[in-house]
């Protein structure tokens, strides 16, 4: 069975304190790994798609990387507005077009 596990469940950072969120996956075959950001009361907002090991993508203070077993979302010098739940999802071979999600990491950045 395809599984996506995110850690930590919750993370509290001081403004400017860089850190990484982890998404580990066990799947039959990876066709794409997605990162989303979700603010309270809202739907997930797309951040990145990664397709193959070694791939990296950046957007502002965020950088996503991918290996054969896991993905990291690195947050450099975070600001309070980066506070949100970050979701990781995979699309797998033979899984059709659905996404399988992890349970997310709830990030809080404090002044």
The residues that touch other proteins, with contacts defined as CB under 8 A, are: 4, 31-32, 34, 36, 41-46, 49, 51, 87, 89, 91, 96-104
Compute the least distance from the CB of residue 44 to other proteins, in Å: 5
By three-state DSSP, how is residue 104 classified?
A: coil
> In whole angstroms, how close is the CB of 39 to other proteins at the nearest point?
10
Give the residue with the Cβ less far from other proteins, 92 or 109. Answer: 92
Q: Cα 93 from chain centroid? A: 20
**Residue number, 43 or 54, with CB nearest to other proteins:** 43
Question: Rounded to an integer, what distance in angstroms lies between the CA atom of residue 15 and that of residue 39?
Answer: 18
CA distance to 29, 42, 54, per residue, from 37 (Å): 24, 10, 22
């Amino acid at each position: 069975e395809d599984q996506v596990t995110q850690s930590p469940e919750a993370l509290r950072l001081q403004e400017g304190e860089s850190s990484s969120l982890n998404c580990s996956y066990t799947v039959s075959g990876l066709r794409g790994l997605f990162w989303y950001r979700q603010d309270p009361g809202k739907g997930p907002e797309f951040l990145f798609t990664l397709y193959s090991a070694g791939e990296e993508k950046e957007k502002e203070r965020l950088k996503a990387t991918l290996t054969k077993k896991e993905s990291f979302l690195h947050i450099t010098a975070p600001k309070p507005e980066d506070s949100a739940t970050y979701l990781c999802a995979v699309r797998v071979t033979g899984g059709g077009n659905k996404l399988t999600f992890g349970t997310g990491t709830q990030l809080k950045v404090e002044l």
